[in-house]
Every structure is written in C-alpha cells, then in structure tokens.
Chain A
C-alpha cells in the first residue's frame, strides 16, 4: 500500500502505452521511449546536480564557499558549465586514431546508461527487467574498461596511455572483489533478479501482519547491511565500487598530479563533458546497485519505492564525496596489493560466513543466527582482516620510516 508512487508511475506508463493501441509499431516505440527516456533525462539531471553537490560539499570540507555566482547557491552552475563545454573547441590530436578518439566517449556512456537500466528504482520500476539483472550489471560494468583503454590508446599521448593502462589494471583487479562481495548477497537471496533481492530484504511476515509498528520495521530491519556478512560485504563492495568508478582515493587513472588527466588528457570540449557524465552516471549506477544489494533497495518505511531509492543512492554518492574530501590517493602498488591481498581473500571468506549464516538461520531461527553471526561470524572476519594486514605489512614500515634523500 505504501509504495503508491511506483504504482501511480506504472499506471501512467500503461495509460500512455494504451493510447497507441491501434498502432502496434508506434506502440512498441512509445514503450521503448517510456522505458529509456525518463531514465536518461533523470540521470542526466542527477549528473548536473551531483557535480554541484560535489563542488559544494568539497568546498565546505575545505572551508570554502564553493560555486555561488550562477543562480541561487550556484545551482545553475552545471548549466553554465555545460554551455561552456559545448562552446569550446573540440581538439583532436593530429596523429591520433580519429575514429577511436571519437568512439571512446560514446563507448563509455552507453554501458553507463545500460547499467542504470538494471537498477530496480521501485516496485516494478525497472527499465530492463531481466532475470539475471545483477549479473548483467557487472557484465556491462566491465565494458567501461574497454572504453577507457580506447581513449588512452587512441590519443597517442604517453600520459593517456599510462592512464589507460592504470585504469585497465585497476578495473580488472577490483571487479573480482566487487563481484565476490555481491555473490554473498546473491547466494543468500537465491536469485539474480534485482526485484527478488530487494524482496528478500523485507521481512514479509511482518509486512503482512497489519501491525503498523511491525510494518514500519519490517521495511528496515531485513536489510543485508544489518547482518554481519552483509556489513562486511558492504564495506568490501563499497571500496571496490570506488575503484570501479574511478573515484578518489582510487582515482589513479586520472591522477592529475602524476599523469595530467590520464586518458582524459587529449580530450576537450563536449567529449570531455561526456566522459565526465559517463563517470558520474557509473558512480550513480554502482551506488544504486550497492543500495539494491545491501541497503534494501527501494524498501523503506512510509513512502517505500522510488523516493527511498533516490535518498539511499544520493546518500551513498554523498559518502563518496565525503571520502574524496578526506582520503589521499593511493600508490599504484598499494592499490593492487589492497585488491589482491586484502579485499579478495576477505570477500571469499565472507561468502563462507554468509553460507553458514544462511544455514544457521534455518537451523536456530533468525534471532539466534543474528546474535551468533555478529559474535562469531564478524569476529572471524575481523581476525582475518587483522591477520591479513599483519601479513601484508611492508617491511620498511616496521618501526621508523627511512627516507633515502634526507641526511
């Protein structure tokens, strides 16, 4: 009953499609447009808003004011930026691979928008309602790598190529812990379907009870993040997601102090803007999938559905901004070591913990499994993390730091 916004939207869509009952070809087109156009427009708007949010948030963290000249609180700044980008000259390097130089931003944007289509925005609100949506999301996400490599290779610039290589290495490494931490959720829910994963995070018996208090908490307490393996998995997933989306502190491919702008070095004007848009939309997509997997998707008290999903997604994005304002960039070897020597073993261990939790819930009931899981399961993960960090400790960092060039 309380996700009426989703039902109203679906009704509106069905009514619009129903208008074209007499023209089947047009109806198909309208159906396609209804599935894609609002999503595209909304996420492009969200991109504009999030650039503003990021600049404002970072400014406040650094005790500055941020953009405040265009519109109230600088809210029209993204528009001004967009116009500026459109009017700029589009420079293509003379010896670059012209076709690939042109194709790379497109190649990056298409998977970003496809990935957004796999997000369960609300009850039944999904642009691409596929049976294995989660898996498809990760598959499409891996296409980003190719586009970034394309951009880096086609620019014929050493910084571009270095950035491209870094991006490829980073994305391949972090895709594994990303998927493995999602596997725990998929295993627990027993489905690759995004809607079913969301449904598994609602306590169905409480929702059907008719008790208002139970209905309220039934929408919250089932979220996977409240379970020990879900909490750990969320941390792994979020860290890997930051790396997948090239966000700080894993923004090595675009490390401007080291390799200018990485694969973006030779891009200007609107192509650059498209790159940025694709990056932000992938960040949104990955925040959305983290919401779906661990934060209960669209489920939430009072106004379940689209509003809750947007709130959660934007909160995760705000945390990304917060992290960007806090943490310094990693070194390349640290980045790789972190993925392979720390995240990957823990993510695999987390799958086992999730499996044991699943059987414990069936054997001893959910409350006992919950308490035991937090005590034992989380304890195991914590100990493993401590042991791994001790094993991975670099020998030079033991005791005093040694500076080669000083003294």
Chain B
C-alpha cells in the first residue's frame, strides 16, 4: 500500500513538473494527463472509488480533451528554445508558495493524525452513501449548481446560434 502510494505520488509530481517544464505544449498537456491519472490512482488507494472515476471521466476524459482541442488550434506547438522558462527571482517565489502550502497543509495533517483510527476501520465508503449525501443534506446546493450549468449550456447554445445565424 505504501509502496503503491510512493510510486503514484512520484508519478504525480513528475507529471506536474513536466507540465511546467516541457516546451512542447502537446507534451505538456499529456504530462498533465499523466498527473491526473496518478491522482486517480491515489484516490483509489484512499478507497474513494467514485472520486477516482470522476477524476478519470471528467479530468482526463473531458478537460484533457478540451485542452488538446484548444492546442490543436494553435499554430506554434513547440516553444521558442532561446527563451528562459525561469525568471530571475524564482527562488523567492518558490519559497513563498512552499510556505503557503505548508501553512495550509500542516493543520490538516495534524488534525487527521489526532483522530482515532477506530472511526476509519468501520468507514466503508460506497457510491450509494455518496449519492444519498448529495441528495439529502446538500440537495439545494446540487440543484443550484445543476441549474447554473444548464443556464450556462443554454446561453452557450444561444450565443453560438446567434453568432452563426442572422
């Protein structure tokens, strides 16, 4: 379990770093996809099947494809090799962002340690529970999100048709 976690984590970090460092945009997108899939694997290790599925279905299957489509429309796929990827004060930026990350993460980690493992042992996540949770206490928010998305979809259709029609 731990070995699998480290492998997955390494792949995820590798994918994320490559996504920034690679000059070829398509390669960068594919490394983002690699990062996403490693993340899906991590979710499976956490027994969060449904989140893993959504990760694959939405992020790899849809967002990734969307990015690829957008890149397909750009003319220059490979970047200019003479330009530098890093700016001068990159060390400071790295320091600040690392500090912020730790500031957010440390309390969470300590919190999870403090909780007893007995609660985890009889914790059996299933899709049914997730669905019931979404549909019962959080029904209003889910409904609002669904309505918003539908409105956005219809707006997109209207915008597209009025642009081409006339």
Contacts and interface: CB of A to CB of B under 8 A. Distances in A.
Contacts of B60: 139, 142-143, 146
Interface string A137-172: 011101101100110010000000000010010001
Given A131-B127, A153-B72, A165-B72, A142 B57 contact: yes
B56 interface: yes
Contact of B53 (A135, A153, A172): A135
A100 B30 contact: yes
A303 interface: no
A157 to B, nearest CB: 14
Interface in A122-140: 130-132, 135-136, 138-140
A192 interface: yes
A97 B50 CA distance: 35
A149 B29 CA distance: 12
A192 B52 CA distance: 14
Contacts of A142: 56-57, 60-62
A168 B128 CA distance: 32
A140 B33 contact: no
A146 B68 contact: yes
A172 B26 CA distance: 19
A145 B65 contact: yes
Contacts of A145: 61, 65
B53 A146 contact: no
Contacts of B50: 132, 135
B56 A139 contact: yes
Contacts of B57: 135, 138-139, 142
A139 B56 CA distance: 6
B68 A143 contact: no
Nearest to A145: B65
A135 B127 CA distance: 10
B65 A149 contact: yes
Q: Main SS of chain A's interface residues?
A: helix
Interface in B36-82: 49-50, 53, 56-57, 60-62, 64-65, 68-69, 72
A186 B153 CA distance: 25
Contacts of B30: 100, 146, 150
Contacts of B69: 168
B141 interface: no
B68 A149 contact: yes
B64 A146 contact: yes
Contacts of B150: none
Interface in B123-140: 126-128
Nearest to B126: A131
Nearest to A111: B56
Contact of B65 (A100, A146, A191): A146
Nearest to A152: B72
B55 to A, nearest CB: 8
Q: 7 shortest A-B CB distances, which residue pairs? A: A142-B61, A139-B56, A139-B57, A135-B53, A132-B127, A139-B53, A132-B49
Interface of B: 26-27, 30, 33, 49-50, 53, 56-57, 60-62, 64-65, 68-69, 72, 126-128
Interface of A: 97, 100, 130-132, 135-136, 138-140, 142-143, 145-146, 149-150, 153, 165, 168, 172, 175, 191-192
11 contacts: A130-B49, A131-B49, A132-B49, A132-B50, A135-B50, A136-B53, A136-B56, A139-B56, A142-B62, A153-B72, A168-B68
Given A172-B65, A175-B61, 8 more contacts: A130-B49, A138-B57, A142-B61, A142-B62, A146-B68, A165-B72, A168-B69, A172-B62
